[in-house]
Structure 1
């Protein structure tokens, strides 16, 4: 599979590129024109401003797009995720690419499904209020993804607070939230796995960190 990674130079995007290569995929890394990027062997680099380029192009033989776009700060008023994802979806339509996997976040799921009561009523509302621009942007992004129509086979993954620790035997929770912090390596693995899983199309998942320091195959809760 030829996987295109948007936001490949970011802290999560770098893990996605590594995980996709490890899984045997071909990888094109989309990185900003002005940003530094140390290209891993075998990765094709495409320089583009995903957030502002309405004429964004994708490789002709791309099979899937994985997006790790995200705001760097709540102080940034620009809609990074929504605008960038809209451009990605438009580019996918033009190039005939159907599969899209995007990164969102726990506070965007307003139902609070899967959360303990203290997290639903105390922690998540506080987190959402602490960074409204970030989560409003992600919410708008999810609406764009869900509104992509029949030409877009989408999956949304919502991690909790991201940390840089060893990968674990993580768990994907369908249509619900995990209330744990999540390591970036687990998020990257989940995004890559979802891109090749037909059963994940049209679904959203919470991501729950496992206990084992040795990563196993992702388990989908039932």
Structure 2
């Protein structure tokens, strides 16, 4: 497949690029600073672009089978970037008639899983309070995506780690895996690539966790 990856220099985005190349896909990585992308490959095209300008992104998404986005705030000071940049991606996709989109969100935006204990709920409340700006940004991003003409999927992992890919994790379409504490960025990327052709995930949030 021909894939375009946004946020390709981030932890999840870089893994999407690496794993997609390893499995034989043609990948276009859209970045602001090509020097920060350490992945290389014959099937990789690196496009430097202003991610706030839909016109500058159209060539990067034209003719692609799917767009995968790892765009998101890395710190509370960056809150707002996910919704703002995803809006530009959606406009570029709409202009080029590209429909399949997968984005990274976060587990707290999904429904509370069954069996959540009082302690679990207390911890979740603290996390939501501390990271409120980032989660509000992701909610705005999800709203933009849901209102678009794309065949979207929002992937919602819990705490992210830098462990190697395992390919072994739980996923719940429209829900949240109970007692899901963490997931490696590499396995988030693995899950997103696996969902591209999965019709059950279209128009849904998908919780993923170990």
Is the TM-score greater than 0.5?
yes
Q: Does 1:121 align with 2:121?
A: yes
- Residues of 2 paired with 1:118 and 1:69: CA distance? 32
Aligned length: 204
CA offset at residue 140 of structure 1? 0.4
The residue that corresponds to 1:80 in the other structure is: 81
The residue aligned with 2:70 is 68
Q: Secondary structure at the match of 2:208?
A: strand
- Which whole-Å CA distance do the structure 1 matches of 2:128 and 2:151 have between them? 28
1:1-222 equivalence runs, <5 A? 1-33=1-33, 36-42=36-42, 43-50=44-51, 52-55=52-55, 56-57=57-58, 58-77=60-79, 79-109=80-110, 111-114=111-114, 116-118=116-118, 120-148=120-148, 151-168=149-166, 169-178=168-177, 179-209=180-210
Asked whether the 8 Å contact 2:61–2:98 carries over to 1, the reply is no
Partner of 1:217: none
Q: Is the 8 A contact 1:164 1:183 kept in 2?
A: yes
Structure number with the higher helix fraction is 2
TM-score (norm 2): 0.90
For 1:196, what is the secondary structure of its paired residue? coil
Query: C-alpha displacement at 1:37, in angstroms?
Result: 2.1
Gap runs ≥5 in structure 2: none
Shift of 1:19: 1.4
- Moved >4 Å (runs of 4+): none
Q: CA contact under 8 A between 1:92 and 1:98: conserved in structure 2?
A: yes
Deviation at 1:24, TM superposition (A): 1.8
Shift of 1:160: 0.4
Whether contact under 8 Å (1:115, 1:177) holds in the other structure is no
Q: Is the Cα contact below 8 Å between 2:161 and 2:185 reproduced in 1?
A: yes
Give the root-mean-square deviation of aligned CA atoms: 1.7
Question: Deviation at 1:172?
Answer: 1.1
Distance 1:71 1:10, change over 3 A: same
Query: Retained in 1: the 8 A contact 2:14–2:37?
Result: no
Offset, 1:35: 5.5
SS in 2 for 1:75: helix
- Gaps of at least 5 residues in structure 1 are 210-222
Alpha-carbon contact 2:14-2:39 (below 8 Å) kept: no
Offset of residue 11 of structure 1: 1.3
The alpha-carbon deviation at position 117 of structure 1 amounts to 2.6
